[in-house]
Structure 1
């Protein structure tokens, strides 16, 4: 089929536009201290740009490098390649190790969310201190989701995007299942025949039995002082 005059320049223009879009999203993600949403990127690109396809291309470009482009929920961020973590010194910024109780509570919230404090205690078989939850919230890994539509309207808890980011997960469904936990030696001894590892919920949206957290709720929980000022 003969080439119509003007076809080649159009193709070249499309190629330049695509390359420029890649440079833009690369710069935006690189300049951000937090993972960047595809919606944020789309606002800064020409209309009808396929941001998802663009990010997958950029992710493939960075795959063999020392820095990788990773997806965290529906956000994107640059992170050191996992196999090079040994070379990154963090002596001056050592993260405090979590207690066994905090690890247990974090695991229950991750796999069972949305979950209330009473439900966490039912799984663990022991009482959960407010201090344990405070540690997980200060780390930025756990958040208040909403309030359950049951007597007493207990607060529901869930994990955050920072939790996914810290543990290198794209989404909650990437949490290890039973066979992976066995392989890692985290499930040992005699496992009850009816034991199963729950499949985590993959959405941040409230369930039908949850109401959103209001300012009054935050005041009751001690997160805001009366009048709406954040607690010091």
Structure 2
């Protein structure tokens, strides 16, 4: 197992993008168990300056979150998302796979091509499978880059209504009636304000 850990470590170190266990297994000698080796490897890196993190269904080596400031440049380009982009991103994150029509139905207004292009350019969303409905509309889903930016393993780790309220991102009144996953009925305007603060980090 120690040798398998070494091999996993070498693969993760040399890979620029997160890699799945399936892809790792294809590189390892026959009979290796990358899933078990990954458990031991992640434990060995706990508390270190570099950690092995899970991003969706893949793994990667990343600088420990509390040491990120050491990697910052002196000049940082700040690109604030528009309110429309923030709302669109939040809807896709909580409703994926979501079509453009579904996004517009939830927001109550049309979604401009520029808004989606901006999120695609940031690589926070990507095209998903076409929906099996008339017209076969394309869907949108969040990416590994989105999950990594917000420190999430999967979209299921997105904060729920209670977490948003406890963090002060939503008022104590009910919110976001059009998003069933948030489990409540509230005014869309108030909810999108909360989502805006969430995604401006």
- TM-score of the two chains, using structure 2 as the length reference: 0.82
Deviation sequence 1:71-119 (CA, Å, 0-9, x none): 1112110111112223331344535222222111111001101111111
Q: Name the CA distance, whole Å, in 1 between partners of 2:11 and 2:2.
A: 14
The equivalent of 1:134 in structure 2 is 117
Cα distance change, pair 193–125 in 1 and its aligned pair in 2 (3 A): closer
8 A Cα contact 1:178 1:196, kept in partner: no
Q: 1:153 to 1:45 in 2, by over 3 A?
A: closer
Offset of residue 20 of structure 1: 1.9
Quick one: distance in 2 between partners of 1:42 and 1:114?
Answer: 29
What is the distance in 2 between the residues matched to 1:30 and 1:153? 40
**Residue 46 (structure 1) shift:** 2.5
Question: Which has the higher relative contact order, 1 or 2, with Cα contacts under 8 A spaced 6 or more apart?
Answer: 2
Higher gyration radius (CA):
1
- Mapped partners of 1:129, 1:89: distance in 2: 33
Taking a change above 3 Å as real, the CA distance of residues 88 and 183 of structure 1, as seen in their structure-2 partners, is farther
C-alpha contact 2:4 2:34 (8 A) present in aligned 1: no
Question: What whole-Å deviation, never above 9, does each CA across 1:45-90 have from its counterpart, x for those lacking one?
Answer: 2323221111111111111111111011121101111122233313
Instruction: Compute the RMSD of aligned alpha carbons.
Output: 2.1
Match of 1:86 among 64, 69, 73: 69
Shift of 1:180: 1.0
Asked if 1:63 is matched to 2:46, the reply is yes
User: What is the DSSP-based 3-state SS (H/G/I as helix, E as strand, rest coil) of the residue aligned with 2:128?
Assistant: strand
Q: Which residue of 2 aligns with 1:175?
A: 158
- Stretches of structure 1 that go unaligned for 5 or more consecutive residues are 1-17, 200-232
Tell me the distance in 2 between the aligned counterparts of 1:51 and 1:123.
42
